[in-house]
């Protein structure tokens, strides 16, 4: 149902956003194309976490992902990406399970992080929030 919802949101972007979003457009095709973890990082995460994952500055700054020991816990990383928290947006409905796993693996193995145990799409599905009815 969640994918179906995202589909409808895509279809009605700009004309009818979901009640929970209000007058903000929802166009954004989830999983429109397969992208590498690096591509997803460059095209999405980098806007806040910055090019070298050094984090932002200012009152609402995103934290550094570079050399971040918290990334050692796969469930921590996935939960943050899927559900968001404290300024981090929720990407459960914006990225496919593959994209989510790929980008999580990318940040866990770059920017001074070397956590080699791979995250799988099964991990993503296990931690994804319940679908909207």
Partner 1 sequence: MIEFEQPSRRELLTAIGKAGGAVALYQAMTALGHAAPTQFAGPPKLSGARPGASVVVLGSGLAGMVAALELQKAGYKVQILEFQDRPGGRNYTVRGGDVIKETDGTVQKVQFAPGNYLNPGPWRIPFHHQALLHYCSELGVALEPFVQINLNGYIHSDKAYGGVPQRIAEVGVDYKGHVAELLAKAVNKGALDDTVTAEDKARLLEAMRGWGLLDKNMAYTTSLQTSAQRGYDRPPGGGVNGAPTPSQIASLSDTLDPRVWGTVSGFFSRTMQQTMFQPVGGVDMIGKAFARKLAGLIRLNARVTKIAQDDAGVTVDYVDTVTGKASVAKASYCVCTIPLPLLSQIEVQVSAPKQAAIKSLPYHSSCKVGLEMKRRFWEQDEAIFGGHSFTTQPIGEVGYPSTGFFKPGPAVLLGAYAGGANAYTFAAMTPAQRIETALKQGSVFHKQYRQEFSNGVAVAWTKLPWITSCASTWSEDLRREHYQNLVSVDGRIVLAGEHCSYIGAWMEASLLSAIDAITRLHQRALAA
Site of interaction with partner 1 (CB under 8 A): 7-30, 42-48, 50, 56-62, 83-91, 93-95, 129-130, 132-133
Could you identify the residue written with the tokens 């791979």? 118
Closest to partner 1 by CB, 29 vs 118, is 29
* Smallest separation (angstroms) from partner 1 to the CB of 115: 24
Least Cβ distance, residue 55 to partner 1 (angstroms): 11
Report whether 77 contacts 90 (CB < 8 A): no
Nearest approach in angstroms of CB 118 to partner 1 is 23
Reference 18, options 10, 82, 84; nearest CA is 10
Report how far residue 132's alpha carbon sits from residue 1's, in angstroms, rounded to the nearest whole number: 7
Give the span between the Cα atoms of 8 and 40, in whole angstroms. Answer: 23
Between 117 and 130, CB nearer to partner 1: 130
Nearer to partner 1, 85 or 116 (CB): 85
CB of 66 to partner 1, least distance (A): 16
Element (H, E) at 127: helix 121-127
């Amino acid at each position: 149902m969640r994918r179906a919802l995202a589909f409808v949101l895509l279809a009605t972007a700009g004309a009818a956003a979901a009640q929970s979003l209000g007058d903000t457009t929802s166009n954004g095709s989830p999983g429109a194309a397969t992208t590498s973890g690096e591509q997803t990082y460059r095209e999405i995460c980098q806007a806040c976490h910055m090019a070298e994952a050094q984090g932002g500055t200012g009152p609402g700054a995103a934290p550094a992902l570079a050399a971040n020991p918290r990334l050692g816990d796969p469930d921590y990383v996935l939960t943050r990406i899927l559900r968001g928290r404290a300024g981090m947006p929720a990407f459960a409905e914006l990225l496919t399970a593959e994209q989510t796993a790929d980008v999580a693996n990318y940040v866990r193995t770059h920017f001074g992080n070397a956590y080699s145990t791979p995250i799988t799409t099964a991990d993503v599905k296990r931690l994804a929030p319940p679908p909207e009815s």
